[in-house]
Amino acid sequence: MSVVSDGDVISDGMETSTVLSTILTTVVSTWASTTDYGHSTKYPPPRNWTPPNTTVKPIRMGNSASAKQAADQVAYGVIACVTVGVLLVMLYMCIFGQRLRATAVRWHVLNCSLWGILHLISYCSFADKAPWPNYITNQNWRDTAKQVECFTRSVFPAGMVFVYLESIILTIAPKLANSWIFNGIFFFLLIPFLNGLMIYLYCAHFMDVVWWYEPIDLFNLATYLLFVFFTFIYFIFCLFGTCLCCATLASKKTSSVGIDFYSLFSGYRIF
């Protein structure tokens, strides 16, 4: 159908449908441009706005390596504090304990307790996982941290050499344990002599001398070799004493054979 006025066509059905389709296409395209979350430029989304149906990445809670190191530092700090407390108790028992005999074992435990505390003090500052890194500010201590660690670790093997020697002697002659001269000899060897030697070798690092090998490192190496050697000798001695005691008990003789069985048991306990 068409309407004619003075010979002109005003409108018809085809033109009307064309206009409506154009308007509808324009509206749809405009709506699509404003709702396309990934490509809209006319109405950009807010800065902190997250489009729906998208994957949100999880937030990382820090570096796992640094967190593990912090946990190790806390654990080492707790262990160090507990160990220092135990060493202080052992130190008190060695000095004031009345049930401990004045033998080499007592002086050896005294040395290990005292220098063990120094070792932990240095360890907590300069170790790889130190609980309190670099809290020691003394420059000489910083420069010789490795020597201090080597010095404190030499106390145990060096002292055990004298403990093994005394134990062998007391197993053969147990009455010497009541001799103040015998006990005084091992007190001198373990306290003044051994400590004085280790302190001198540590201080030798600061002397104006070119050492072919670091003195305290050489002492540490030598004491560990002596410790292994005397451990082997002491083990052979315990085996020989065990066979001798068993042979004596089997023969049912009451006479002494020079080695008391209970003294030998104490030797095994030290070993």
Residue 132 lies in a domain: yes
Report CA 218 to chain centroid distance, whole Å. 25
pLDDT for 133? 85
pLDDT for 132? 86
Distance CA 160, CA 162 (A): 5
CA distances from 247 to 180, 244, 257 (A): 33, 5, 10
Mean pLDDT of 43-60: 55
Which pLDDT tens digit goes with each residue over 66-99? 777 788 888 888 998 999 999 999 999 988 888 8
Which pLDDT tens digit goes with each residue over 120-159? 998 888 888 888 888 888 888 888 888 888 888 899 999 9
pLDDT for 139? 85
3-state helix, strand, coil in the chain (%, to 5): 70, 5, 25
pLDDT for 28? 46
| Boundaries of domain holding 262 | 67-270
pLDDT band at 227 (very low <50, low <70, confident <90, very high): very high
Residue 50 lies in a domain: no
CATH code, 139? 1.20.1070
Residue 87 lies in a domain: yes
Q: Work out the mean pLDDT of the chain and round it to a whole number.
A: 76
Instruction: With beta carbons less than 8 A apart as the criterion, state whether 147 and 220 touch.
Output: no
pLDDT for 146? 85
Residue 39 lies in a domain: no
CA distances from 55 to 50, 61, 87, 161 (A): 10, 19, 57, 69
CA distances from 215 to 131, 193, 222 (A): 29, 16, 11
pLDDT for 92? 92
Is the model's pLDDT at 194 over the cut of 50?
yes
Reported pTM: 0.66
Residue 11 DSSP code: E
Report how many domains make up the chain: 1
